[in-house]
Chains A and B, each alone.
Chain A
């Protein structure tokens, strides 16, 4: 084969690769573009889904915020403390599992691993009773407890693998220097483990922010109900103003998208570490 032919084939291949990628990327972006465009269209323009908005109809956002504002605030109040608590409790469990072999450690591991995959439905009815019995039904505290409890498998699992990469000799040295076993965790391990903790933070923030099932089952009042429950009610309404619904959707996804762009690396590594054994 002549050299020129070979180059032509190569160029053609590159062109095909880029065409396929650009096409796929455009298709993937269409729903989001339509979402944003519709959210600023007034009721008269909304029938033309392909047309660019002629005037910015911000009223959609005003109404959406009136409807969703409280839910979003609730989601923030549920997510932020729950992320911190569940990561810390996960780290508590991960420390001994990473540093120490003891009877039953592999059993704990199997339980954690199984816990990653259990469908929430299996615990839902008894959970409803437990939460009522604890007197935390329809409260932020109840949601913190639930998200912490069900975050333990993933947090412990991920952090155990992360802590295991920190040399054990470091701990032995610290202990010889008179550091206590608990002191090593709080003063050294938590500091060295920052990248792992950051990834778990993001992983948990996404999971808790996105939760619909627990919010739906364990909260009732406007003062506690998270954004997802509010949005689900909006989506399943029979008659809906699509401009307002799209504005509400934009508001509800914005925090997660911003977080993704700011913490892109942690987001991806959390995703990978949560799924792949490391």
Chain B
């Protein structure tokens, strides 16, 4: 049994660094954030003042907070629906045994390789009110009266940012769906065709159920990205005009690092954490159940 001891010792040593990192950089900070959310703290002075639930009651009474929450909700609805649907549609088109398959796949995927900050940079120029692409185009086709101040008008700014995000993230859903389609056993599709199933029927009764694992992943990833969305908004509008495009992530950053109300910032972070957990727990549960099967098998 010397080997068993050696295994235990070596494996223990291998796990040490990752575990210490997780404890120091994940478990401890999450606990600390929760504790801080019950305190008032400017982030600099050694003293923190216990204020009980006051951060939360102030937060929940703040219009700015509810603007951010409702924007996150809109991002959630958007992310679950549009990039997923567009990605699936494009994947289905590419899957029709066409020429230049990998060229199309690459073209749709390229935007996803770009840094979100750079996406913001490109779209700031496209949305520029006087010389930008959108308004110039509307002018060109004689619809000048529909020109907009795309990211400066509070009523449409969030949708404009979402549109740029659609361009950026569709490639991700596309790639997942293409690999999902490739994994569908050909016999299934062929026998359905032989049985006389139309494309819509094959899609509804064969492909869609077979694509369920891909769909679960795409939805989970989109759901969580809707709560984490930060870079695009931070760079394009900074949460403005006013607080029109703000989400919890940008609000947390502003409150904590520009205003140095780090107790309040922690309360926002905890809220965000709880919301993410609610969204992601079903997925984690689903995945870890599948993992058990693998480790046992």
A residues sitting closer than 8 Å to B (CB atoms) are: 17-18, 20-21, 24-25, 28-32, 34-35, 38, 46-47, 49-50, 89-90, 92-93, 95-96, 99-102, 105-106, 108-115, 117-130, 146, 148-150, 152, 156, 164, 175, 180-182, 185, 206, 209-210, 212-213, 216-217, 228, 231-232, 234-236, 240, 242, 245-246, 248-249, 252-253, 256-257, 259-260, 264, 267-268, 271-272, 275-277
Question: Could you tell me the distance between the alpha carbons of A24 and B108 in the complex, rounded to whole angstroms?
Answer: 8
B234 is contacted by which of A113, A212, A259 (Cβ under 8 Å)? A212
The 26 listed contacts between A and B (C-beta, < 8 Å) are: A17-B96, A28-B107, A31-B111, A38-B125, A92-B18, A95-B11, A95-B14, A106-B295, A109-B291, A118-B273, A122-B33, A122-B269, A123-B29, A124-B269, A125-B33, A149-B26, A182-B13, A209-B115, A210-B231, A212-B230, A228-B115, A231-B121, A232-B234, A235-B124, A235-B236, A275-B221
Assembled-state Cα–Cα distance A209/B116 (Å): 11
Q: Which residue of A lies closest to B213 (CB)?
A: A276
Of the listed stretches B74-82, B172-180, B184-192, name the one at the interface; the rest are far from the partner chain.
B172-180
Complex Cα spacing A272 to B180, Å: 10
Could you tell me the distance between the alpha carbons of A122 and B25 in the complex, rounded to whole angstroms?
Answer: 11
- Is there an interface contact between B18 and A181, defined as CB atoms closer than 8 Å? no
B167: chain A residues at CB < 8 Å are 28, 31
Which stretch in B51-59, B202-210, B282-290 binds the other chain? B282-290
Q: Given A25-B108, A164-B294 in contact, is the A102-B11 Cβ separation under 8 Å?
A: yes
Q: What residue of chain B has the Cβ atom nearest to residue A251's Cβ?
A: B118
- Give 3 nearest A-B pairs by CB, closest first: A93-B18, A126-B29, A96-B11
Q: What chain B residues lie within 8 Å of A109 (beta carbons)?
A: 288, 291
Q: Which residues of B contact A123 (CB under 8 A)?
A: 25-26, 29-30, 33
Contacts of B27 in A (CB 8 A): 111
* Residues in A neighbouring B110, C-beta threshold 8 A: 28, 32, 257, 260
CA distance A121 to B247 in the complex (A): 12
Known contacts A118-B276, A234-B121: A130-B24 contact under CB 8 Å:
yes
Q: Are B118 and A115 in contact (CB under 8 A)?
A: no
Instruction: Tell whether A245 pairs with B24 under 8 Å between CB atoms, given A122-B273, A175-B3, A181-B10.
Output: no
Q: Looking at B128, B269, B283, which has the most chain A CB atoms within 10 Å of its CB? A: B269
With A95-B14, A117-B284, A122-B270 as known contacts, state yes or no: A231 contacts B117, CB within 8 Å: yes
Report the interface size class on chain B.
Answer: 35 or more
Q: Mark B3-15, 1 if CB is under 8 A from A, else 0.
A: 1001100111111
Given A28-B167, A121-B272, A272-B179, check contact A210 B21 (CB 8 Å).
Answer: no
Query: Shortest distance in angstroms between B76's beta carbon and chain A's nearest beta carbon?
Result: 13
Q: Judging by beta carbons under 8 Å apart, are A96 and B14 in contact?
A: yes
| Minimum Cβ distance to chain A for residue B21 (Å) | 4
| Interchain Cβ contacts within 8 Å, total number | 279
Is B244 on the interface with A (CB-CB < 8 A)? no
Considering the chains assembled together, what is the distance between the CA atoms of A125 and B22 in angstroms?
16
Contact A122 B284 (CB under 8 A): no
Task: Chain A residues near B136: list those with CB within 8 A.
Answer: 49-50
A-B contact sample (20 more), CB < 8 A, given A130-B29, A181-B6: A32-B111, A34-B126, A49-B131, A89-B21, A93-B19, A95-B14, A106-B292, A111-B26, A121-B249, A122-B273, A125-B29, A149-B24, A231-B115, A235-B124, A236-B235, A246-B122, A248-B121, A253-B115, A275-B176, A276-B213
Bound-state Cα–Cα, A38 to B29, Å: 44
Quick one: which of B113, B116, B256, B273 contacts A125, CB cutoff 8 A? B256
Partner of B176, one of A253, A272, A277: A272
Contacting pair A125 B25 (CB below 8 A): no
B161 on the interface (CB 8 Å rule)?
Answer: no
How far apart are A259's CB and chain B's nearest CB, in angstroms? 8
Flag if A181 contacts B7 (CB, 8 Å): yes
